[in-house]
Amino acid sequence: MKEPMHDDEEMMTLHKESALMQIATWSKVVGWALLVIYLIIFLGQFNQVLTAFNAGQLPTDALGLATVVANLVYLPATGAFYFLILQGLAQGLYIASDLFAVTEDVEDM
């Protein structure tokens, strides 16, 4: 059984809460920045496809059209994937911090 801690003793932790909060904050910022970058690149590619469409240079076969559509969908999907991963990382760190704070409060009682 664990002995209760005295007021002059500090609980030993292997992390700094402020560092975890900074990682979570930067994870959210980088996630948004990546999403915006991927969307800007997507808009540039979409503009090129529209230009090719107006000039009559798009492929007419099904496989060629599928390739064009797949290339258009790939960039926003990749950006959304990175965005969700980084946002999930931030939320996971926030939840872990909350759980640590709750267990720390329970141990103090």
The tens-digit pLDDT sequence of the chain (109 residues) is: 455 555 544 555 556 778 888 999 999 999 999 999 999 999 999 999 999 989 988 888 999 999 999 999 999 999 999 999 999 999 998 888 888 766 666 666 6
Q: Is residue 3 part of a domain?
A: no
What pTM did the predictor assign? Answer: 0.72
The total number of structural domains in the chain stands at 1
Q: Is residue 32 part of a domain?
A: yes
Q: Is residue 77 part of a domain?
A: yes
Q: Is residue 9 part of a domain?
A: no
What DSSP string describes 9-68? -----SS-HHHHHHHHHHHHHHHHHHHHHHHHHHHHHHHHHHHHHHTT-S--SHHHHHHH
| Domain coverage including residue 57 | 22-108
Q: Is residue 5 part of a domain?
A: no
How many whole angstroms separate alpha carbon 29 and alpha carbon 43?
21
